[in-house]
Amino acid sequence: MVRIVVADDHAIVREGLKQILAGQPDFEVVGEARDGHEALTRVREMEFDVLLLDMSMPGKSGVELIKQIKSEKPRLRILILTMHEEHQYAVRAIRAGASGYLTKEGASAQLVTALRKVAAGGAYISAEVAEQLALNAMPDAEGPLHASLSDREFQVFRMIAEGKSISEIAERLNLSVKTVSTHKANVLQKMNMTSQGELIRYALENNLVEKP
């Protein structure tokens, strides 16, 4: 029996996932989490096999959350379920310790297969993201501008693109305003941009944030 915890900030998504998994005799959903804090609590207090994790939840989330979970429970398998098809999200998630990466668009068709593969010790990347990874691995392919950013810079970049202020980002990430400002300056320099407006436009054009 594969024991699963579902972590997503939308109740309707959690219910939908549980319905899909309920039809599988070898799966058991043993817990839920609606934000990063609850996900960490489940990891620390429960014994289970796979964490089905949304990349974008309130509180600590994404790469930062994956790294912390893996530092505390190295053997726990993590399958990312996200709206982001952009391959850089997958690359960063896998590097942080995730065992699989699945887009919500393809979840209904691929979820069961992905969970079984990850639970058995394998890796799984959805077909949409795998195609992007293959194309960008070709010798003449130029990587996207944001590929050069560190994980923390990428996190700050996304929050800027979502319209958050420097002080809001500092509070959310538990960093000083000066440190966040330095990250912002590094992002602008690495991406050869001069304004926050350019960052926002780039993020929207490359599907790195949700369109308003």
The predicted model scores a pTM of 0.72
The per-residue pLDDT for range 166-194, each reduced to its tens digit, is: 999 999 888 899 999 999 999 999 999 99
Lowest mean pLDDT among 14-23, 45-54, 134-143, 149-158: 134-143
Domain ranges of the chain: 2-136, 145-205
Q: Write out the E strands in the chain.
A: 2-7, 27-33, 50-54, 77-82, 100-103, 124-125
Is it true that 2-136 and 145-205 share their CATH fold?
no
Higher local confidence (pLDDT), 109 or 124: 124
Strands in 77-82's sheet, in edge-to-edge order, are: 27-33, 2-7, 50-54, 77-82, 100-103, 124-125
Whether the per-residue pLDDT at 47 is higher than 80: the answer is yes
Whether the per-residue pLDDT at 76 is higher than 80: the answer is yes
Cβ within 8 Å of residue 183, ≥6 positions away? 152, 153, 156
Give 130's pLDDT tier (boundaries 50, 70, 90).
confident
Higher local confidence (pLDDT), 206 or 117: 117
Q: What is the dotted CATH code of the domain comprising 145-205?
A: 1.10.10.10
**pLDDT, position 124:** 92
Nearest C-alpha neighbor of 17 from the set 25, 6, 26, 2: 6
Hey, which of 27-41, 57-71, 103-117 has the most confident mean pLDDT?
27-41
SS3 94: helix
Give 40's pLDDT tier (boundaries 50, 70, 90).
very high
Whether the per-residue pLDDT at 143 is higher than 70: the answer is no
- Return the CATH architecture of domain 2-136: 3-Layer(aba) Sandwich (3.40)
Whether the per-residue pLDDT at 16 is higher than 60: the answer is yes
What rounded mean pLDDT belongs to the chain? 88
